[in-house]
Structure 1
């Protein structure tokens, strides 16, 4: 699905609130750990029925400044068109690594590693340079009409339960142990099944496959981030101001203008309304309203 650069920026800003700045990458209130998860997904969207399961292991040290995620999943999609049923099975293996602001993504299809600056880490530096990660995250959720709905013991760890936009998260010291969500007809669940905190995590757990590394530049690359930030932020703020004044009908017309965006074109009125509401909430969050 194609996305506008502004929508990508908004999502990056949202995600950035879960980390801390480049100057002090203390993302969690836990020094190190190894956590294993099991996940499921099921539901119906755009005429297709989806189901799947997966596993994930997170290794981290230095308060989350160095972290590797190894995820494997299988997903089945059944589609019925004009009485004919088709089924597609997709297997995925994803490894991502964060190393003090540098982001590495392993592509097992091309057998290469994509390296770039972590947009969330650079964004948090620009917008919340002195903020505590937990405070920023709580503020973000509240601005999305979210709230803490209680506390619960999960596998021996006292977690805060936060809910926003159909997503519930069980969070222990800024680290998420459980997620449940139902968004646009798709229900997903990810639960920690084995938790080891404040242990010695061997360096071998952070090693990437022996693939060539391909460095890429992104919008917030180190070389031009500082010199272009004032100009870029001014332009982005102008775009956000324009978005905040658009009615749903006006935004819908703009969003559907790209006839080649098949997924956007096939969205129902309800799904378009949910996306519009999400964008408006994120714009208000950025504007501090």
Structure 2
């Protein structure tokens, strides 16, 4: 059972890496279509269609990029298609008539937003915005939609409910801009739109993904380890007694050294949240019932008292790259598990605990 707790504390790091690799985009609008004009060093057009908040998507880019390096001018033509559908992705280079395909490890857990309330959708859109990092400069309308303007690493992005409607970037003398010239939301999109092109030589990279993610490519299995584990004995995962609203309030209030929240989840009574700091730092927080196992049996931990509560700090089995704090909340019979990567010292972890304020 404790293997489940270890996965809870680390799964969101895998989510972030996988999203970056597969270019999965989440939206706070159920379906839509955006057409962009590309200007700057790259000129052309880009078209995006999506449904089910991005669980199915189609992106097509037709462009020409011109660069100059040491006075030498080069031109690159691009005509690509990227498709996400039913947990599978296809990436197609129509200039070379080839492509790649594979499974998306996080598909089932990343997109299950149909039952969100309007308030939850607004919070979801805010989570996407905050996850980008950078500085919010203000608001401005694009195509009559009020957008938040975010500045990050020399780029500005105009965002409406998780949707980029405009961007401007100039890095190392290379300028790339996108501006939406057409935007339709909550429209009906035929399922055939998300069918991959035929007559393409696709390379299946599922095995490479499996090797990269160490067997954790099926996100759903992380949250349903109650099916079977280790000696194939059926088990039941107990839901946490800690109120989810209280957990969310503490997660949303957490502000410390540039950490930005990416997402928080309630999966069958186990809560999880993920923060990123720049491109390399990560902080995962989970709440689980004490009935699901004792973390001290699955790692090398120092025990101490933190503000009258029992606390453990150390490393879980098979995880030398990060350290973990486990805080007991006895009145709710709950463990709060905090995983920090890269590892930090005891004093720093206590400061994190102070700012989380469980």
Name the TM-score, length of structure 2 as normaliser: 0.48
Report the Cα distance in structure 1 between the residues aligned to 2:104 and 2:85, rounded to whole angstroms: 9
Aligned positions of 1:51-200 closer than 5 A = 51-80=41-70, 86-118=72-104, 133-141=124-132, 144=133, 146-200=134-188
Match of 1:28 in 2: 27
Could you tell me how far 1:171 is from its partner in structure 2?
Answer: 1.1
The structure carrying a bigger strand percent of its residues is 2
Give yes or no for contact 1:55–1:73 (8 Å, CA) kept in 2: yes
Q: 1 CA distance for matches of 2:28 and 2:147?
A: 13
CA contact (8 A) 1:12 1:119 kept: no
1:59 Cα offset (Å)? 0.9
| Conservation of the 8 A alpha-carbon contact between 1:169 and 1:179 | yes
- Asked if structure 1 preserves the Cα contact closer than 8 Å seen for 2:106 and 2:217, the reply is no
Match of residue 12 from structure 1: 17
Q: Residue 6 of structure 1 aligns with which residue? A: none
Hey, what's the Cα distance between the residues in 2 that align with 1:38 and 1:226? 35
Change (3 A) 1:140 1:214: same
| Cα distance in 2 for residues equivalent to 1:178 and 1:120 | 28
What CA distance in whole angstroms lies between the structure 2 residues aligned with 1:31 and 1:173? 10
Aligned mates of 1:171, 1:220 — CA distance in 2: 34
SS at match of 1:161: strand
The secondary structure found in structure 2 opposite 1:205 is: helix
Question: Within 2, Cα distance between the matches of 1:226 and 1:202?
Answer: 29
* Offset of residue 12 of structure 1: 2.9
Unaligned runs of 5+ residues in structure 2 are: 1-13, 112-119, 223-275, 284-339, 342-351, 353-358
> Does the aligned pair in 1 maintain the 2:55–2:107 contact within 8 Å?
no
CA deviations over 1:223-267 (Å, ceiling 9, x no partner): 82169x99xxxxxxxxxxxxxxxxxxxxxxxxxxxxxxxxxxxxx
Using the alignment, how far apart are the partners of 1:212 and 1:116 within structure 2?
Answer: 13
Which string of whole-angstrom CA distances, capped at 9 and with x for unpartnered residues, describes residues 37-77 of structure 1? 01123xxxxxxxxx331200001112211000000111223
Q: Given the superposition, is the C-alpha separation of residues 111 and 154 from structure 1 closer, same or farther in structure 2, using an over 3 Å criterion?
A: same
Paired position in structure 2 for 1:216: 205
Q: How does 1:247-266 map to 2 (within 5 A)?
A: none
Contact 1:60 1:66 in 2 (8 A): yes
Query: Is 1:206 matched with 2:211?
Result: no
Distance 1:196 1:161 in 2: 20
Segments of 5+ residues of structure 1 without an aligned counterpart are 1-8, 21-26, 42-50, 126-130, 231-278
Q: Secondary structure at the match of 1:208?
A: coil
**8 A Cα contact 1:166 1:181, kept in partner:** yes
8 Å contact kept, 2:67–2:174: no
Q: Which of the pair is proportionally richer in helix?
A: 1
> Residue 31 of structure 2 contacts residue 185 of structure 2 at CA under 8 Å; is this kept in 1?
yes
Q: Is the 8 A contact 2:78 2:95 kept in 1?
A: no
The residue aligned with 2:36 is: 37
- Contact 2:81/2:94, CA 8 A, preserved across alignment: no
**More displaced, 198-207 or 218-227?**
218-227
**Retained in 2: the 8 A contact 1:19–1:121?**
no
Mapped contact 2:165–2:180 kept (Cα < 8 A) = yes
Residue 281 of structure 2 corresponds to 284
CA apart distance, 1:162: 1.5
Instruction: Name which structure has the greater RCO, CA cutoff 8 Å, separation 6+.
Output: 1
